[in-house]
Amino acid sequence: MYRAIAIDDDPLALLIVKRFCSRLDNIDLVKTYSDSIKGANDLDIQKPDIVFLDMEMPDLSGLEILKGLGDSLKVVVVSSNLNMRKDALGLNAAAFLHKPTSFPAFEEVVEKITSSLNCLSA
Q: For 88-103, write each residue's pLDDT tens digit.
A: 988 889 999 999 999 9
Q: Which of 7-11, 47-51, 69-73 has the lowest mean pLDDT?
A: 69-73
pLDDT at 69: 87
C-alpha span between 6 and 11 (Å, rounded): 11
pLDDT at 71 exceeding the cut of 90: no
Q: Give the containing element (helix H, strand E) for 30.
A: strand 27-33
Task: Enter the pTM of the model.
Answer: 0.95
C-beta separation of 33 from 10 below 8 A: no
Q: Provide the 3-class DSSP secondary structure of residue 119.
A: helix
Q: For 13-32, write each residue's pLDDT tens digit.
A: 999 999 999 999 999 999 99
C-alpha span between 44 and 38 (Å, rounded): 11
